[in-house]
Amino acid sequence: MFHYVKVVLGVLLGIVVFMFLDYSLPSKNTVRITNTYNRLTSITSSNAMFYAAEDTGTVENASGQRDVRFFETVRPNGKVYVYRNEDTGWIWPPYFKYDSANLHAEATNLRSTSADPQWVSITSYGWRIPWLTAYPNAISIDTLAGPDERPRNWGAMVICLVLLVFLALFWRMWAQFRERTIDPVVDQVDQAWDRVEDGADAARDHISTSTAGAQGRFRRWLDSFKGKPRK
């Protein structure tokens, strides 16, 4: 039973780590910008975690609305995708973005139509969740030669490599700590438990022997009243 609990907890931890990295790591998408605009957006308790903090320079009014910049884009397959454009400040993830106004001007300058497309690669983080009014936050824009160009996401690759190195070091340190500290204690506990079980078994055997002897003597005593000879 304990083995299955460990497996379930391990799977849940893996899902949480994957979702955390999927949200936080930068992603690149090839798109064509069709429109840029500002819009009053309602920030509620259910979606506040997907927007920048108030201390990054964006201010909410009394009704919980915030003036947020947006990019409307189209991917090469024709699907539309919307990005928000907010400063990140010093909050997580640590992109330290303070140039949302310049990025908005750059995106506006790169708008194009299907007749004369200008393809760009937008680096962003976050998720698009329509029912929570959540949008990925654009970090940077790079121009491309065409819709088939797919720049490598070096940022995410380097971060994942660094995380794997730290994970390997942590796993090695944990293995050494377990070998030197935890395993000896566990062995001592196992040995102490074995001694307790051996003592309990010996006590049970002694009690069983004593009980059997007492029962035999009691039967012989009863048989003496019935006129049966003692054995």
Q: What is the mean pLDDT of the chain?
A: 85
pLDDT at 54 over 90: no
pLDDT at 30 over 70: yes
**Model pTM score:** 0.73
Which residues lie below 8 Å from residue 66, measured CB to CB, with a gap of 6+?
40, 41, 43, 51, 58, 59, 60
d(CA 42, CA 45): 10
pLDDT at 78 over 80: yes
d(CA 93, CA 67): 21
Name the DSSP letter for residue 90: T
Paired tokens of 225 = 């009243």
| Residue 222: pLDDT band with limits 50, 70, 90 | low
User: What is Dmax (Cα atoms) for the chain?
Assistant: 122
The SS3 call for residue 7 is helix
Per-residue model confidence (pLDDT) at position 138: 97
| Residue 12: pLDDT band with limits 50, 70, 90 | very high
Per-residue model confidence (pLDDT) at position 162: 93
pLDDT at 46 over 80: yes
